[in-house]
Chains A and B, each alone.
Chain A
Amino acid sequence: MKPAFANLFWGLLLVWIDIPFSTFDVFNDTVGYLLIAYGMHRISKPIPLFTFGRWLAAFLAILSIPTTFSEESVSLFDQPFLLQGTWWEIWMSGVLGEFALLLLIYTLCEGIGRLAKSRGENGLFEHMRGSGSVYLFSAVPLMLISPFLLNFDIEALPVILLILGGVSLIGMLLILYGLIRAGRDLHRTTPKRRLDIRV
């Protein structure tokens, strides 16, 4: 099980970190999503939620292909894209991609949390639920507020976005730490075996 969590950890790290080299992202998102899909596939038996999650990750991998191989930016804040892109491109590359990533992270935290709870790892369960909540409760307002940056000057907006961005960063770091912890704690043994040893 440990390699599966390692897949999830590295996959999420690739998705999260962007280091553009010329027009190519060294930390390739497509590879990251494929790693997450593969990791979820490997542990979809003990975590049924990951059956959905792996398809979601695969879908995100497909969505991220244009940004990997196209020289043209498809960022929602890239003005030529906003002007010339069709509504379909905007939904697919921007809104849907952002939303699906949020759903994927929720699935990841919830799935691992449920497994941890079933194995009696309440500490890990609380950690995954907590870090998932921290991320979601900062990322959701970010998703809702950020479109308004296109059109409106709201004085407090940059400060709000900075705070939410900071909290979201902490949430993501906690999730990554949770994945390391899951690889360590959930790998060790099952509660049943632990009970056997005690007997």
Chain B
Amino acid sequence: MAYWGFVGLAVAVAACWFFNVAYYREAQLEHPVFLDHYIEAESGSGVVFYLYVLENRSETNRIERIRIPELEDAQVSRSWNDSYRYQDLAHFEVFLDQEMASELYFENWEHAETPIMIGQVEVMYTDGSVSTENIGEIRLYPRLYNTDKPLSAQDKIMEAQRGQSTVVAQENLKITGVDYNEASRLGNRLELYWGQGSEVGEWDFERPEEDRIIGKPIHEVQFPMELKLGEDVTVRYRFRDVTAQDWSKVYQLLPRFRVETKKEIIQARPITIQYSPAPTEDEVRQFVEERRNRP
């Protein structure tokens, strides 16, 4: 009796371990994975943006340093990690100080459309190995104007996937339009709202999201719109993840305001719209499974 009891126990224990070890291994990445970034940033004002990397928590060979060849002097440092069961989502802060930013060389400074494009970074690991990783796309634009800002952003509120900025006119001006063409790649993930005065209620976190007064969708706004000195408009945004993979595509956008002042017609990027990934445990697991199944 005892003999068969031990045989049964041996089989049961082996089965429990086999299942759990296999399940555990299946949830591990083969190497750290950079999320797919699309980041727009404007040089000249101490640029800060984040690169996101998913890496195994049990990984002994971790990322020690990230180097961006096109931005040799950029300071890249690990800011913090969001921890999941098997992985850490590491946030690496990329910072260009004033001095460094001013030294950036833009080939077509006069043609402000041409940014510095960055698609890969060099990654150094704790074991001394180095690899080149695709990160998506970083577009570093030159500043669009070098005089005083006609529009300045105030009262910024940013959460992981929504936020708002109030833009104040620093002189009498006319906004003739807002371009955010690059946001088209987001499909219907991004919602932008525009409001003035009573169109915009308080940013009330306690109220249900649907009850908040958030302004009107930006495509319904009539341009041109005149703003006198000191008048403001509020731009609110919200990302909605449609599929389980959306969280792995990280965005930072700079909508372009076309502005007419008395002196000139300029373009300005006073507000930042950014998406910080905050996946669920299941979404991370699904992402890892997909990566492992890739040929």
Contacts and interface: CB of A to CB of B under 8 A. Distances in A.
B12 interface: yes
A151 B14 contact: no
Contacts of A94: 17
Nearest to B12: A144
B20 A98 contact: no
B13 A90 contact: no
A106 interface: yes
A27 to B, nearest CB: 25
Interface in B91-145: none
A87 B24 CA distance: 13
A148 B21 CA distance: 9
Interface string B12-43: 11101101110111011000000000000000
A43 to B, nearest CB: 20
Given A106-B2, A150-B20, A151-B20, A99 B27 contact: no
B205 interface: no
Contact of B6 (A80, A83, A106): A106
B222 interface: no
A79 B19 contact: no
Interface residues of B, number: 22
5 contacts: A87-B21, A90-B17, A95-B13, A151-B23, A151-B27
Interface of B: 2, 6, 9-10, 12-14, 16-17, 19-21, 23-25, 27-28, 56-58, 60, 85
Interface in A90-146: 90-91, 94-95, 98-99, 102-103, 106, 110, 140, 143-144
A86 B23 CA distance: 15
Interface string A52-65: 00000000000000
B6 A103 contact: yes
Contact of A147 (B10, B20, B56, B60): B20
B9 A150 contact: no
A151 B26 CA distance: 11
Contacts of A176: none
Interchain residue pairs A-B with the least CB separation, the first 3: A79-B58, A147-B20, A147-B16
A118 to B, nearest CB: 18
B14 A80 contact: no
B22 to A, nearest CB: 9
Contacts of B27: 151
Q: State the majority secondary structure of interface residues on B.
A: helix
A42 B101 CA distance: 81
Given A91-B14, A98-B13, A82 B21 contact: yes
Interface residues of A, number: 24
A110 B2 CA distance: 11
B19 A83 contact: no
Given A79-B58, A82-B21, A90-B17, 5 more contacts: A76-B17, A87-B21, A99-B10, A144-B16, A150-B24
A151 B18 CA distance: 12
A185 to B, nearest CB: 24
Nearest to B19: A147
Given A99-B9, A106-B6, A80 B16 contact: no
Nearest to B24: A150
A83 B28 contact: yes
A102 B13 CA distance: 12
A153 B84 CA distance: 12
Nearest to B20: A147
Contacts of A91: 14
Contacts of B9: 99, 102, 140, 143
Contacts of B57: 79
A180 to B, nearest CB: 25
A80 B12 contact: no
Contacts of A82: 21, 24-25, 58
Nearest to B60: A80
A150 B25 CA distance: 10
A83 B17 contact: no
A78 B283 CA distance: 25
Contacts of A153: 85
A90 to B, nearest CB: 6
Contacts of A150: 20-21, 23-24
A82 B60 CA distance: 13
B205 to A, nearest CB: 28
Contacts of B17: 76, 90, 94-95, 147
A75 to B, nearest CB: 13
A110 B23 CA distance: 37
